[in-house]
């Protein structure tokens, strides 16, 4: 296997062509491997086969077309097309159930598909974010389904992704990577494979440590954002601009406070703390409390809206609200766990109408002017670049009332003529 990987003769199947799987497939294809991308969504396969990506990411369409034309990447929805590959890289979603427990059905389904078509000696890499001990359990599932022995008849690794939308291709190359193998040889094979394009540091460990490291990284960020959000909550009571306060606090050589906002979205941060705790016998409560704080931030935005409407004597039930931004992150079409939708859910039954506009996602209105015309309040829920340079004087002229709620701290100086409130902007 080492020789096949080193010579780029190993054939690779990438299972799941979403935000991680598709760029990963492209990178391996660009490195000279023959890659087959497997995706159960027929519409996605059709679109990709025509050279058009179903996700928004810089350079992705150009890179996709190149590897398709060179013949190093093909996409399919037929399991038979990924039979007897040397390497299987699994990049499927691992969402939460309604009760915040991990939903591993997509992962189990992918593993069972691989078990049916893999050959003896295959390397299986799980990139999906998963609870500790899951890789070992997936190895046991393959043993049950196929009769192969993990670590002897096939190799198994957890290799968590560490990329950010908008920078995926750069970070796939230059970010450090962790390979957690069920045995030492599994981790070594994964390192050799990914070194075909990874230039960052590589660390090898066991699979359970790798799983926990990934969850710890995102839980660290989530807990620290929760602290910043609590600071913002307190700032309203003390009439302080929390962003000025954070800027000053961060001049301390050992302090680096995160930024507060309308909520924490994306695929990882809202989910990974729950995955970390999912199989634990006991925890101390800090991680859960941090999650509760971050999940409640859209409610703080609602409180600011209600307070502003009371100030202008407009009954809540008569208000028309325009939400700017549906993606969880600026300049992206990624709506996974976006706090924008949580905010809309909290207010939709209390107001006359909720409108939305997002240049990447869409919304109720295709044009910003249509969304804000006749509106009483605007809520900035996503920090898209477009929203940072809006002509507020012109927007104010077409609104019925002029209330502006900034949930992402993109308004440095409140525009004239608006009743302005921002999360953490306690002095206004």
Per-chain mean pLDDT for the chain: 96
User: Residue 406 — very low, low, confident or very high, per pLDDT cuts 50/70/90?
Assistant: very high
- The two structure tokens encoding residue 416: 């004239």
> What pTM, to 2 d.p., does this model score?
0.89
Q: Among 121-130, 136-145, 164-173, 223-232, which stretch is predicted with the lowest mean pLDDT? A: 164-173
The yes-or-no answer to whether 215-294 and 296-422 have a common fold is yes
Nearest-CA neighbor of 233 among 224, 242, 225? 242
Q: Averaged over 35-51, what is the pLDDT? A: 96
> Within 13 Å and on the Cβ side, how many CA atoms surround 271?
22
Catalytic residue (one of 268, 271, 329, 421) = 268
Catalytic residue (one of 214, 271, 329, 421) = 214
User: What are the phi and psi torsion angles at 351 (to 5°)?
Assistant: -115, 170
Q: Averaged over 281-307, what is the pLDDT? A: 97
Nearest-CA neighbor of 249 among 218, 220, 224? 224
Q: What CATH class has 215-294?
A: alpha beta
Residue 286 Cα distances to 169, 275, 296, 409, angstroms: 34, 15, 16, 27
Architecture of domain 296-422: 3-Layer(aba) Sandwich (3.40)
Active site residue 214: yes
Q: Averaged over 377-385, what is the pLDDT? A: 97
| Cα angle, residue 103 at apex, residues 98 and 107 outer, rounded to 5° | 160
- Given a contact cutoff of 8 angstroms between Cβ atoms, the answer to whether 410 and 394 are in contact is no
* Alpha-carbon span 426 to 428, nearest angstrom: 6
Q: Averaged over 399-403, what is the pLDDT? A: 98
- pLDDT value, residue 427: 75
Q: What is the pLDDT of residues 331-380, one digit of tens each?
A: 988 898 999 999 999 999 999 999 999 999 999 999 999 999 999 999 99
A 10 A CB-CB count for 140 gives 11
User: Residue 396 — very low, low, confident or very high, per pLDDT cuts 50/70/90?
Assistant: very high
Q: Averaged over 400-406, what is the pLDDT? A: 98
Active site residue 348: no
| Cα angle, residue 146 at apex, residues 142 and 149 outer, rounded to 5° | 65
- pLDDT value, residue 266: 87
Q: What is the pLDDT of residues 163-207, one digit of tens each?
A: 988 899 999 999 999 999 999 999 999 999 999 999 999 999 999
Distance of CA 19 to the CA centre of its chain: 8
User: Residue 426 — very low, low, confident or very high, per pLDDT cuts 50/70/90?
Assistant: confident
- pLDDT value, residue 164: 86
Sketch the domain layout of the chain as residue ranges. Answer: 2-200, 215-294, 296-422
Q: What is the pLDDT of residues 77-105, one digit of tens each?
A: 999 999 999 999 999 999 999 999 999 99
CATH T-level fold of 2-200:
Rossmann fold (3.40.50)
- Given a contact cutoff of 8 angstroms between Cβ atoms, the answer to whether 195 and 202 are in contact is yes
User: What are the phi and psi torsion angles at 231 (to 5°)?
Assistant: -60, -40
User: What are the phi and psi torsion angles at 238 (to 5°)?
Assistant: -95, 0
- Given a contact cutoff of 8 angstroms between Cβ atoms, the answer to whether 319 and 352 are in contact is yes
Query: Is the confidence at residue 381, as pLDDT, over 90?
Result: yes
DSSP 161: -
A 10 A CB-CB count for 353 gives 14
Query: Is the confidence at residue 428, as pLDDT, over 70?
Result: no
Q: What is the pLDDT of residues 300-329, one digit of tens each?
A: 999 999 999 999 999 999 999 999 999 999
Query: Is the confidence at residue 142, as pLDDT, over 70?
Result: yes
């Amino acid at each position: 296997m080492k020789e096949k990987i080193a010579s780029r003769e190993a054939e690779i199947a990438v299972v799941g062509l979403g935000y991680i799987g598709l760029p990963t497939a492209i990178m391996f294809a660009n490195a000279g491997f023959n890659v087959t991308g497997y995706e159960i969504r027929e519409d996605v396969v059709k679109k990709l086969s025509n050279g058009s990506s179903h996700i928004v990411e810089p350079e992705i369409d150009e890179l996709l077309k190149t590897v398709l034309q060179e013949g190093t990447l093909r996409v399919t929805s037929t399991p038979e097309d990924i039979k007897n590959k040397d390497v299987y890289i699994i990049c499927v979603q691992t969402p939460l159930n309604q009760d915040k427990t991990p939903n591993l059905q997509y992962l189990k389904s992918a593993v069972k598909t691989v078990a049916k078509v893999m050959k003896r000696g295959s390397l299986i890499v799980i990139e999906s974010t998963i609870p500790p001990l899951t890789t070992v359990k997936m190895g046991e599932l393959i043993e049950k389904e196929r009769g192969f022995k993990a670590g002897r008849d096939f190799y198994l690794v957890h290799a968590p992704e560490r990329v950010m939308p908008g920078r995926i291709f750069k970070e796939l190359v230059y970010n450090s990577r962790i390979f957690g193998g069920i045995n030492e040889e599994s981790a070594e094979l994964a390192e050799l494979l990914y070194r075909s394009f990874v230039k960052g540091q590589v660390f090898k460990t066991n699979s359970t440590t790798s799983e926990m490291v990934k969850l710890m990284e995102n839980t660290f960020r989530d807990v620290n954002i929760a602290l910043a959000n609590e600071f913002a909550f307190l700032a309203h009571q003390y009439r302080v601009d929390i962003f000025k306060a954070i800027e000053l606090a961060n001049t301390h050589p050992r302090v680096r406070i995160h930024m507060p906002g309308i909520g924490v979205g994306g695929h990882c941060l809202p989910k990974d703390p729950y995955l970390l705790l999912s199989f634990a016998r006991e925890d101390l409560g800090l991680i859960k409390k941090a999650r509760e704080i971050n999940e409640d931030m859209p409610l703080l935005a609602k409180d600011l809206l209600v307070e502003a409407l009371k100030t202008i004597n407009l009954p809540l039930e008569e208000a028309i609200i325009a939400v700017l931004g549906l993606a969880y992150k600026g300049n992206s079409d990624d709506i996974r766990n976006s706090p924008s939708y949580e905010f809309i859910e909290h207010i939709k039954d209390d107001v006359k109408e909720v409108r939305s506009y997002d240049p990447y996602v869409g919304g109720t209105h295709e044009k910003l002017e249509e969304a804000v015309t006749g509106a009483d309040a605007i809520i900035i829920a996503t920090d898209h670049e477009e929203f940072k340079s809006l002509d507020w004087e012109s927007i104010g002229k077409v609104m019925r009332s002029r209330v502006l709620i900034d949930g992402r701290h993109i308004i440095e100086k409140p525009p004239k003529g608006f009743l302005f409130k921002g999360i953490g902007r306690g002095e206004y």
